[in-house]
Amino acid sequence: MLRLDNALNAWGTPEFEIILKQEIAQRAGELPLQQGLSTGNYVADEPITVVINRVAETEDVIRVQAGIFYKGVIGGCSCADDPTPNSEINEYCEVQLDIDKATAATVVTLVTE
């Protein structure tokens, strides 16, 4: 399970969003990016960019809705004479992260609205 300890420790400080974005970006492999693909066949091994869209607090969790910009790859021939050898395309999805305020355990859900 994803744990966002640094973000939880920064909760309530001006640095929260910066630390949260960095921590999410470092843990990109634990996000449902493959399920969020709209055009590509699989997620490219490239850095992601995180945008915090909304943050709310409940009694037990910090609920974050974040936009993720990343690259997808369209699988294909990759022939030497292919006029478009670069098959990476821009992808975007939104995720909801529920960060447990006691443990930093984070439930990640792909937003499909």
Distance, in Å, from the CA atom of 100 to the CA atom of 73, rounded to the nearest integer, reads 33
pLDDT at site 75: 74
pLDDT at site 88: 87
Domain that holds residue 49: 2-111
pLDDT at site 76: 65
pLDDT at site 85: 56
Distance, in Å, from the CA atom of 96 to the CA atom of 106, rounded to the nearest integer, reads 10
Return per-residue pLDDT of the chain as tens, 113 residues: 899 999 999 999 999 999 999 999 999 999 999 999 998 889 999 999 999 999 999 999 999 999 999 999 987 655 665 555 557 899 999 999 999 999 999 999 999 87
Distance, in Å, from the CA atom of 110 to the CA atom of 28, rounded to the nearest integer, reads 13
* Helix, strand or coil, per DSSP, at residue 42: strand
Give the domain CATH number at 89.
3.10.450
Total domains in the chain come to: 1
Report which residue type is found at 76: G
* Tokens at 103, concatenated: 């443990």
pLDDT at site 94: 98
Q: Is 23 exposed, middle or buried (0-12, 13-18, 19+ CB in 10 A)?
A: buried
